[in-house]
Amino acid sequence: MEANRSFLKSDLWKEFDQLETDQRKQKPRPEVQKPYPDDAELIELVPFEDIRVGTAPLKEVIQRRKSQRFFTEEYLSLEELSFLLWATQGIRETSPDGVRFYRNVPSGGNRHSLETYLSIHRVESLDPGLYRYLPLEHKLLQVKQDKEIALKVSEALMDQEEMKDGKPYIFTRDCAVVFIWTTLPHRTEWRYSLLAHKMIAIDVGHVCQNLYLASVAINAGTCAIGALDRMKMDQVLGVDGEQEFTIYAATVGKVE
């Protein structure tokens, strides 16, 4: 218990100037995005300047924000998904030297250790399966087409259920899409060493809150999920569980 509280206290900041970080050792800066095969067929998303959804007033969006666990069978449009991805991890500006990328969410030291995977169940023009968002290109990479992806991801999310009309309703399975965030910790460790890990936990909270607000703006709902079988989810995603692993997820779907 005390060790976990020490993580929250993050008392090492007063010693930060003495930490030998990889950045101070002049080791290479980690990539800001995982690579993908040169011959991969990427899926075009709607560019931000062409997005017409998500125009609800901010005050109204904040007032309506809450966790939603009951979803309709309505599909999300590709434009709506594009908006959610842009709102949570989209890049709004690039530095003149092309090294730094500024996103729509804050991250300690602009390190952005997260990758966004999507378990697509009901999105127009997209086959059910596992996808990864590529923020540098604002495109989707299909990791694998899989009609059973909803069952596999829901199982890794502990098949969380509520009662609906007197029957069990597994909202982790029956949503339109699940956002799954992994971290590549070295992106943040490179600059902050032992101080990185609390910052990563804070960062993913920023991302998920943007998802909540953006979902409300398109008349959809979100429910953040911290209780998950991390090893099982890592296996579903195909990540190694050491240099990259799952830390958070959220269901999204249309609501009545």
Looking at the 3D structure of the chain, how many domains does it have?
Answer: 1
pLDDT per position as a tens digit, 197-219: 999 999 999 999 999 999 999 99
Please list the residues that pair with 222 across neighbouring strands. Answer: 67, 252
User: Which of 98, 151, 142 has the alpha carbon at shortest distance from 123?
Assistant: 142
Q: What is the CATH number of the domain that holds 128?
A: 3.40.109.10
Report how far residue 224's alpha carbon sits from residue 213's, in angstroms, rounded to the nearest whole number: 12
The answer to whether residues 118 and 130 touch, using CB atoms and an 8 Å cutoff, is yes
| 17 found inside a domain | no
pLDDT per position as a tens digit, 13-37: 999 999 999 999 999 999 999 999 9
| 30 found inside a domain | no
| 55 found inside a domain | yes
| 25 found inside a domain | no
**Which domain covers residue 151, as residue numbers?**
42-254
Tell me what pLDDT residue 65 has: 98
| 14 found inside a domain | no
| 33 found inside a domain | no
| 32 found inside a domain | no
pLDDT per position as a tens digit, 37-59: 999 999 999 999 999 999 999 99
Report how far residue 198's alpha carbon sits from residue 201's, in angstroms, rounded to the nearest whole number: 5
Q: Is the dihedral of CA 190, 136, 149, 178 positive or negative?
A: positive
**pTM of the complete model:** 0.97
